[in-house]
Amino acid sequence: MSTENTPPDTHPDTPYDAGNQRHVERKEKAARTRRARLAEAVRWIAGDARGRLYLADLVRESGALERVVATDPDTVMFLDGQRSIGFKVLNDVRSLDDAKPFTALVTGALSGETDATPDRTDL
């Protein structure tokens, strides 16, 4: 891409200026595009049984659906940090327009549901 005819305030090497309306609009547009791409990725993952299996396992391992019980404040903070990953997954799936993937994800996480493929133990 040639930058010879690019206005000075939109040149790629120009630092971001929050007071410049073009910079703000370009940054907002990039953020909207990124959010839309991520939402589509979550929709794709949560829309497939294999993806839900992985997400349910992640939510279950994070402890997001369990109560935190610990007497040590450092342990509580660690567990809360771990749970925040599960909360993000749940929130991302919940924010989709369709409630079915969220319901299936929570059900799978609570039940320990698998994809019905037996794990090999003879390896």
Give the model confidence (pLDDT) of 11-36 as tens digits.
Answer: 667 898 889 999 999 999 999 999 99
When the pLDDT of each residue in the chain is averaged and rounded to a whole number, the result is: 85
Spatial distance between the Cα atoms of 120 and 123, rounded to a whole number of angstroms: 7
Full-model pTM = 0.70
Instruction: Report whether pLDDT(41) > 90.
Output: yes
Is the confidence at residue 115, as pLDDT, over 70?
no
Q: pLDDT band at residue 90, thresholds of 50, 70 and 90?
A: very high
Higher per-residue pLDDT: 53 or 119? 53
The whole-angstrom separation of Cα 78 and Cα 123 is 34
Which conformational region is residue 66 in: left (phi greater than 0), alpha (psi within -120 to 50 degrees), or beta?
beta
Which pLDDT does position 98 carry in this prediction?
87
Least confident of 2-11, 61-70, 78-87: 2-11
Each domain of the chain, given as residue ranges in start order, spans 20-111
